[in-house]
Structure 1
Amino acid sequence: MLILASTSPYRRELLQRLRLPFETARPEVDETPLRGESPGQLVRRLARAKADAVAARHPGAWVIGSDQAADLDGRILGKPGGREAALAQLAAMGGRSVQFHTAVCLRRGDHELAAVDTTRVRFRALAAAEIERYVDAEQPFDCAGSFKCEGLGIALFEAIETHDPTALVGLPLIALAGLLRQAGYAVP
């Protein structure tokens, strides 16, 4: 059995691309950053915690945990949750480069496999009216960094530098496919 420790529709849609049967489960993990925790440390810890929480309820199953955070000069930018926070995040990122750290952890019992992807996004200079039009059109309130690169958000960028384009959406499928092969899955 394969379980995605997430209720994210974005991660579920990404995992479906691998055409493996899986279930989803809510991990019930506190996602509050720890004092002094870097964005990279945060996503590693949370991906592991999510996989651990669901694996404890489903012994014998392989469980996938994943987490993502935006890193603006070492400051963690998570999901905005609402319009004003999304506007502020995008205004802060306009004309700048932001790193997005996406971790994935595959766990069954004591066996753990993990990987982290870092994607660099170069935002173009953004006028306040552009940001407002974008946020009102796509309402990316549940997305780290306040955009959906798979949608209209792509118009906000000058470039995306990545080893895995799915990582920016929330689940690094290239890394995950490798972890699943290590675990014995036939992918593809």
Structure 2
Amino acid sequence: MKRTILLASSSPYRKQLLERLGLPFDCASPDIDESPESAESADALAVRLATQKAQALAENHPDTLIIGSDQVATLPDGSLLNKPGSHEKAVEQLTRSSGQCVKFHTGLAVLDTLTGDLKTHCELFTVNFRNLSQEEIAGYLLKEKPYDCAGSFKMEGLGITLFSSLAGQDPNSLIGLPLIALTALLGEFGVNPLLAR
């Protein structure tokens, strides 16, 4: 059975990733409050925001599989790294990440608006940052301006030069959409990219 698929995101990075599965889909931007709740874990926050993104679009998209995704990064002390939004904040984030092991928690939600069925997943990916000089940080930010990316880098570009090692199941999760987990969740709704026509 062919299903209508909607990506609840305006991110060009997530759109490019979903295109890799070869499934037809549309995009729409949800409007939600992304503030963390008191004492909320990074995993819980990522999954809650992914779910809220999908639910925010449900009313206007009946009989649709809506995909929501959101990413939260944490430093070893547990503090969150959000989208920096400015050059100064990005410098601060990369300075704090230098030489550190940073964990990226990517929440994923697939909502079937026909049945109300919701399936969620949280993907963990660990990044070990090299010891970065202020000159390297400034040079990187000048070239890529990753101010709309959690953690202040773009994995699909020069961001790879910031790291000493990576660990996790799916490097796509660093860009914002864990395709291995998403393929499994879509399969539970009867959607298989290998069998789609």
What's the TM-score bracket when you normalise by the shorter of the two chains? over 0.9
| Residue identity matched to 1:104 | L
Runs of 4+ aligned structure 1 residues displaced above 4 Å come to none
- Counterpart CA distance in 2 for 1:82 and 1:88 is 10
Aligned residues of 2:183 and 2:192 also touching (Cα < 8 A): no
1:69 aligns with 2:69: no
The percentage of aligned residue pairs carrying the same residue is 47
Aligned with residue 170 of structure 1, among 167, 176, 186: 176
SS at match of 2:109: strand
Q: Aligned partners of 1:116 and 1:97: how far apart in 2? A: 19
Q: Is the 8 A contact 1:99 1:118 kept in 2?
A: yes
Q: Distance in 2 between matches of 1:125 and 1:53?
A: 40
Name the structure 2 match of 1:103: 107
Match of 1:17 in 2: 20
Unaligned runs of 5+ in 1: none
The residue that corresponds to 1:59 in the other structure is 62
Partners in 1 of 2:17 and 2:155 — Cα distance?
Answer: 14
Provide Cα deviations, 1:12-52, integer angstroms capped at 9, x if missing partner: 00000000000011111111111222221110100000111
The one-letter amino acid of 1:10's match is: Y
Q: CA deviation at 1:156?
A: 0.5
**Kept in 2: contact 1:38–1:74 (CA 8 A):** no
Partners of 2:54 and 2:67 within 8 A in 1: yes
Instruction: Name the SS for the 2:57 alignment partner.
Output: helix
* CA–CA distance in structure 1, aligned partners of residues 59 and 185 of structure 2: 20
TM-score where L is the length of structure 2: 0.93
Query: Is residue 90 from structure 1 mapped to residue 94 from structure 2 by the alignment?
Result: yes
1:45 corresponds to which of 48, 69, 74:
48
Q: What is the root-mean-square deviation of aligned Cα atoms in Å?
A: 0.8
Give the C-alpha shift of residue 167 in structure 1.
0.3
Judge which range, 53-62 or 115-124, deviates more.
Answer: 53-62
Q: TM-score, normalised by structure 1?
A: 0.98
Listed one character per residue, the Cα deviations across residues 36-79 of structure 1 (whole Å, up to 9, x for unaligned) are 22221110100000111112221210100000010112111110
Q: Conserved in 1, the CA contact under 8 Å of 2:30 and 2:56?
A: yes
The corresponding residue for 1:4 is: 7
Structure 1 CA distance for aligned equivalents of residues 108 and 179 of structure 2: 9
